Chain A
Amino acid sequence: MTASAQQAQDKPVTDRLETRVVVNAPRSRVWRAVSTAKEFATWFGIQLDGEFTAGATVRGRITIKGEPLTLDLGIERIEPEHYFSYRWHPYAIDPKVDYSKEPTTLVEFRLDEIADGKGTAVTIVESGFDRIPLARRAEAYRMNDKGWAGQSKKLVAYVA
């Protein structure tokens, strides 16, 4: 069961998603992977033009089914080793649609030291889904197989 399905049983939480992962590495190392565009691009599976600095818009490029797509990350806040956040248009995967006028979601990374600094708990929160048009959400779900899901399968294969 996914985190959101668990939440949905208590009450209909639909605006926010939280993902946690423990990385067996010091926080400074994890921070670099999260907060530098070059490393982020590698594990996330996206090409990024530019550096992550607060206030910057970094253009991202992904290819889905041979179709190149662009996705802008609006960098919000950077607190070294602790917190990194950006805004984007979730599931902006239809090249025919201009998403720029639509609401964005906020993606936040929080890093906490654990196990005497030998490990790092990473909390990823994406919020603001309630403002995303329902039609868009339905469409993203329908596009599931040809969209991000296929993309991430490829990446898992690449990393593994």
Chain B
Amino acid sequence: MSPSRAAAARKLPDAAPVFAALGDTTRLGLLGRLSAAGPLSISRLSEGTGVTRQAITRHLDALERVGLVRDDWQGRERVFSLDAKRLEIARQYLDHVAAQWSAAAARLKAFVENDLP
């Protein structure tokens, strides 16, 4: 990314690279577990990861900043759950672009094949 683009991205909160947050196996794993068994507390999410609670908390905070998870307090525990709305927007968008490309590919095929002698 060029410096000007990076600066533009920083200025726009909505330009936060939501899925850059997924470019990390620990964070992907956290989302997977929240998806399957959420909401979960930080201690539950730390179990079996081989990563410290502090590190897990940092990862969860990173996911929360881009709106992929949200936290609530249950008594003295911070409990995290998946915020599916953003994932859903990103997925719908991609489905839509995919449909456009399928249509374009079909037009390319028809264009070339109809042109053959």
Contacts and interface: CB of A to CB of B under 8 A. Distances in A.
Majority DSSP secondary structure for residues of B touching A: helix
Contacts of A33: 108, 111-112
A141 B92 contact: yes
Contacts of A124: 101, 104-105
Contacts of B36: none
Interface in A13-52: 14-15, 17, 19-25, 29-30, 33-34, 39, 42-45
A14 B111 contact: no
Interface string A127-160: 0011101111110110010001100100110011
Interface residues of A, number: 53
A104 to B, nearest CB: 9
A131 B1 contact: yes
B37 interface: no
A65 interface: no
A134 B18 contact: yes
A103 interface: yes
Interface residues of B, number: 46
Interface of A: 2-5, 8, 11-12, 14-15, 17, 19-25, 29-30, 33-34, 39, 42-45, 90-91, 101-103, 122, 124, 126, 129-131, 133-138, 140-141, 144, 148-149, 152, 155-156, 159-160
Interface of B: 1, 4-5, 8-9, 12, 14-20, 22, 28, 31, 86-87, 89-116
